[in-house]
């Protein structure tokens, strides 16, 4: 039986680059201090690679690591380069369970305090994405003595190929989950087609607002850093109110904890300088009654979280704000609007196109790791059942219109 106590990475794995079979050099960045120094290069790749996922940007991941990584957890930030140019980033950390005899390898933003990182993934240069992914995972598999399982989320265009890993078959591959996101493709050459029932909902919401508050309502777009800081408390309040709406499907409150509100404030304000965040607020007589947080990359608009007061329900306020965000995405020249993970009827009114993002588990084929992972898998499945049961319940009571 393999020892569970030999979890320290070899010195060479930290200091020397690993030359993968596909001609890409992979190095490990082992500390947050060095990760901060690497952040500018990382951000450049995130902004120029054509990434449609805002959660691969260091603006989102570094604040998470700084707040939520524990002193006992090691940084395993992997950087892949081809001919000296950065082509891939995999920000892993090694997580301990129990007394520290069992370890997993997973991405920053997963595990604890993961509610605001909607789509964890590797960051890959679009031109070299497949070989960059292969190189990063090949490197990770040279260090299997340091972990008992590794969680690997990939883009929708990829499936983990066994040939990427050790050729001797000493690593098992399991499919853990497939995340589905609703996306609205935007073709800048022709008008975006919106379904009739959605157009009616948008029209009805505006008409009701005009009847109830003639000249007394508007939609504010908040993008400047100082304004975002001021708007975040309104968004958090409305997000909490939406989670308590009586008689409706329960929406979890991702901002119930002060630590998560602080984290969101840090990442949104960090994203402001590059135009990476916008808060849409529906204002009625100067008071915010609904809000929507939208993330932006060069090619994509991503809906992250929203909120509304109970009194605003009859105006379909979230749909109205989403409509404004879609209009802005077209104006900005974006190619995609991602309505976030978890298809449901309101999202599917915008589009019926889905992208699926697979997550795999790598388990070294040794008895100790198989036993440890089996226990983790069972506990994880039980926790997921509890989460889903709560997510699909209705809040008690009735909606006051």
348-373 b/e with 16+ CB inside 10 Å = b?
ebbbeeebebbbbbbbbebebbeebb
Parallel/antiparallel/unpaired status of strands 171-185 and 149-153: unpaired
* Predicted confidence (pLDDT) per residue in 138-173, tens digit: 999 999 999 999 999 998 888 998 888 866 668 999
Parallel/antiparallel/unpaired status of strands 149-153 and 336-341: unpaired
Q: What is the pLDDT of residue 393?
A: 60
Q: Decide whether 11-178+358-391 matches 187-334 in CATH topology.
A: yes
3-state DSSP assignment of residue 181:
strand
Residue with tokens 């292969």: 134
pLDDT for 13: 47
Give the start-to-end residue ranges of the domains of the chain. 11-178+358-391, 187-334
**DSSP at 315:** G
CATH of domain 11-178+358-391: 3.40.630.30
pTM comes to 0.89
| 136: CB partners within 8 A, 6+ apart | 26, 78, 80, 88, 90, 122
Q: Cβ(186)–Cβ(320) under 8 Å? A: no
Task: List the one residue out of 222, 132, 130, 121 whose CA is nearest residue 181.
Answer: 121
CB atoms within 10 A of CB 336: 18
* Per-residue pLDDT at 191: 84
Phi, psi of 176 (to 5 degrees): -90, -50
Q: List the end-to-end C-alpha distance of the chain, in Å, as a whole number.
A: 64
Provide the angle, in degrees to the nearest 10, between the axes of the packed helices 258-272 and 225-243: 140
Residue ranges in the chain modelled with pLDDT below 50: 1-13, 15, 396-401
- CA nearest to 217, candidates 302, 305, 311: 311
Looking at the structure, give the CATH architecture of the domain made up of residues 187-334: 3-Layer(aba) Sandwich (3.40)
DSSP helix/strand/coil, 150: strand
């Amino acid at each position: 039986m393999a020892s569970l106590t030999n979890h320290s990475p070899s010195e060479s794995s930290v200091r020397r680059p690993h030359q993968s079979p596909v001609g890409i050099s992979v190095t490990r960045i082992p500390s947050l201090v060095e990760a901060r120094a690497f952040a500018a290069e990382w951000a450049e790749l995130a902004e120029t690679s054509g990434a449609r996922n805002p959660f691969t940007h260091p603006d989102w991941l570094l604040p998470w690591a700084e707040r939520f990584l524990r002193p006992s957890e090691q940084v395993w930030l992997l950087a892949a380069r081809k001919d000296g140019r950065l082509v891939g980033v995999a920000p892993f950390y090694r997580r301990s369970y129990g007394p520290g005899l069992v370890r997993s390898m997973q991405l920053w933003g997963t595990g604890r305090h993961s509610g605001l990182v909607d789509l964890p993934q590797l960051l890959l240069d679009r031109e070299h994405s497949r070989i960059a992914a292969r190189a990063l995972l090949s490197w990770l598999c040279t260090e299997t003595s340091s972990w008992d399982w590794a969680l690997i989320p990939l883009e929708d265009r990829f499936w983990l190929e066994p040939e990427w890993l050790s050729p001797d078959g000493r690593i098992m591959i399991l499919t853990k989950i497939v995340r589905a996101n609703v996306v609205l493709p935007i073709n800048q050459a022709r008008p975006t087609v919106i379904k009739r029932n959605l157009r009616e909902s948008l029209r009805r919401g505006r008409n009701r607002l005009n009847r109830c508050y003639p000249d007394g309502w508007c939609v504010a777009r908040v993008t400047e850093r100082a304004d975002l800081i001021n708007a975040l408390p309104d968004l958090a309040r409305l997000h909490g109110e939406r989670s308590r709406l009586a008689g409706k499907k329960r929406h979890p409150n991702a901002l119930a904890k002060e630590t998560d509100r602080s984290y969101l404030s840090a990442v949104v304000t960090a994203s402001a300088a590059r135009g990476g965040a916008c808060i849409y607020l529906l204002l009625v007589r100067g008071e915010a009654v609904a809000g929507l947080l939208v993330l932006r990359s060069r090619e994509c608009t991503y809906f992250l979280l929203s909120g509304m007061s109970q009194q605003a329900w009859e105006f379909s306020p979230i749909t109205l704000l989403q409509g404004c965000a879609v209009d802005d995405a077209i104006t900005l020249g974006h190619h995609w609007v991602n309505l976030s993970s978890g298809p449901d009827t309101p999202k599917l009114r915008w589009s019926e196109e889905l992208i699926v993002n697979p997550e795999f588990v790598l388990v070294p084929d040794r008895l100790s790791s198989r036993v440890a992972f089996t226990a983790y898998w069972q506990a994880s499945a039980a926790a997921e059942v509890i989460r889903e049961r709560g997510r699909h319940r209705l809040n008690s009571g009735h909606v006051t219109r």
